[in-house]
Amino acid sequence: MASSPDSISMALFCDFENVALGVRDAKYEKFDIKRVLERLLLKGSIVVKKAYCDWDRYKSFKAAMHEANFELIEIPHVRQSGKNSADIRLVVDALDLCYTKSHVDTFVIISGDSDFSPLVSKLRENAKQVIGVGVKQSTSDLLIANCDEFIFYDDLVRDSQRAAAKREARDNPPASRKQPEEDKARREELESRRSKAIDIAVETFDALLAERGESGKIWSSMLKEAIKRRKPDFSESYFGFRAFGNLLEEAQARGLLELGRDEKSGIFVTRPGPGLAAPGGREEFVTAEERVVTERAAPRAGSGWEGVETDADAERVTTPADASAETPASAPEP
């Protein structure tokens, strides 16, 4: 069920021990729930927050979770139990909320445990959107694929570090530049990520065309939705792009896709080649350099004279027929 960001109501269910251990094993700093909340609040309002754990074992986190207005559900650790009691309680509470609070349309499961996959399936069966949050190396691929969207805590840490680095660079300009080798390694890593993202976009575009009978055009919003369905953990910012449109522009610059624009419906994507009419009927071809569409016919592409008035244009020979058409007839002599 699609909802505007202002109308989305979210319920958060946190398997705290799972995510805290995942953060520790990934050698990040202490788990910070604020990073998760800041990202989720961009999507809508949070009306329920519950965290499940044996809190006697994680006392150092209790103050931060209370400050974030989480309801802390105490689940004593029982060694003899073959199943984590916190998982069972979380599932029961989530399903109860699903069936009794119809205004809650989005459920957030903060965990990487594959045992929550049946819960995710049941929530989606009841027309609920499900967002997962977890640490990349400790999150099940099955859980990732089952969610509508998956947010990696690793990306939140990276964004926070990037923002801190910008503030530090602004407040304390470095005395010397980094070693060229470090810069080169960073550029190579970024280029590798960008290429991977472009490959994902092109592969999904080709799959959509094959599914839709080679219609030739796919709206950019439709392409992104298809990518998110196939890869819920996809995030263009992780691959080095500010927005999905920037990714498409880079794919166009590399000759892998072409972009067109319709005034009413926005940007659409086509295969590389001549400009194509938009699905709405309007024709306007957009290139990576944002070519200007002019009223006069452009010379052959690649000639180097596009948009330049030549001497031949300025000194066009006027034929007698043209002259007669342009010169008004004189009045007959009396």
Is 161 in the same domain as 13?
yes
Nearest to 291 by CA among 259, 250, 314: 259
Q: 123 burial class (0-12, 13-18, 19+ CB within 10 angstroms)?
A: buried
- Please report where in the chains the tokens 């989480």 appear, as a residue: 70
Q: What is the overall mean pLDDT for the chain?
A: 78
179 in any annotated domain: no
Is residue 289 helix, strand or coil?
A: coil
Structure confidence at residue 11 as a pLDDT band (50, 70, 90): very high
148 in any annotated domain: yes
Which residues of 160-263 form beta strands (DSSP E)? 218-219, 258-262
Is 135 in the same domain as 204?
no
The listed range with the strongest mean pLDDT (58-72, 178-192, 300-314) is 58-72
263 in any annotated domain: yes
Nearest to 32 by CA among 151, 120, 160: 160
Is 279 in the same domain as 189?
yes
Contact 15, 113 (CB under 8 A): yes
Last-in-domain residue among 168, 196, 224? 168
Is 154 in the same domain as 259?
no
Sheet containing 71-74: order of strands: 71-74, 45-53, 9-15, 106-110, 129-134, 149-152
User: Structure tokens of 231?
Assistant: 């890869």
Q: Rounded to the nearest 5°, which phi and psi values hold at 189?
A: -65, -45
- Which helix (H) or strand (E) segment holds residue 217: the answer is none
- For residue 323, pLDDT over 50 is answered with no
How far apart (Å, rounded) are the C-alpha atoms in residues 39 and 47?
A: 15
Whole-structure pTM over 0.85, yes or no? Answer: no
pLDDT of residue 233: 80
Is 143 in the same domain as 14?
yes
Is 131 in the same domain as 29?
yes
Instruction: Count the residues in the chain.
Output: 334
Last-in-domain residue among 141, 168, 195? 168
Is 152 in the same domain as 221?
no
What long-range pairs does 82-91 form, CB within 8 A, spacing at least 24? Answer: 84/115, 86/15, 86/16, 86/17, 86/52, 86/53, 86/54, 87/15, 87/52, 87/113, 87/115, 87/116, 89/52, 90/13, 90/15, 90/50, 90/52, 90/116, 90/119, 91/116, 91/119
307 in any annotated domain: no
Contact 110, 19 (CB under 8 A): yes
Contact 45, 8 (CB under 8 A): yes
Could you report the per-residue pLDDT of 183-209, keeping only the tens digit for each?
778 888 888 888 999 999 998 888 888
Residue 74 belongs to what domain range? 8-168
HSE, side-chain direction, 13 A CA sphere, residue 38: 10
225 in any annotated domain: yes
Contact 130, 105 (CB under 8 A): no
How far apart (Å, rounded) are the C-alpha atoms in residues 49 and 233?
A: 22
The set of residues, in sequence order, having a beta carbon less than 8 Å from that of 254 and lying 6+ positions away, is 198
Give the CATH number for residue 269. 1.10.10
Could you report the per-residue pLDDT of 266-280, keeping only the tens digit for each?
888 888 865 444 444
Lowest mean pLDDT among 16-30, 98-112, 181-195, 207-221: 207-221
27 in any annotated domain: yes
pLDDT of residue 177: 52
The set of residues, in sequence order, having a beta carbon less than 8 Å from that of 253 and lying 6+ positions away, is 288
Is 72 in the same domain as 115?
yes
Could you report the per-residue pLDDT of 136-179, keeping only the tens digit for each?
999 999 999 999 999 999 989 888 887 777 666 666 655 555 56
Is 115 in the same domain as 256?
no
Last-in-domain residue among 110, 135, 168? 168
- Our count of domains for the chain comes to 2
- For residue 113, pLDDT over 80 is answered with yes
Is 16 in the same domain as 161?
yes
Is 162 in the same domain as 42?
yes
Calculate ∠ Cα 28-51-73, nearest 5°. 135
User: Structure tokens of 136?
Assistant: 């990349």
pLDDT of residue 321: 47
Give the CATH number for residue 48. 3.40.50.1010
3 in any annotated domain: no
Is 218 in the same domain as 153?
no
23 in any annotated domain: yes
Structure confidence at residue 262 as a pLDDT band (50, 70, 90): confident
pLDDT of residue 55: 93
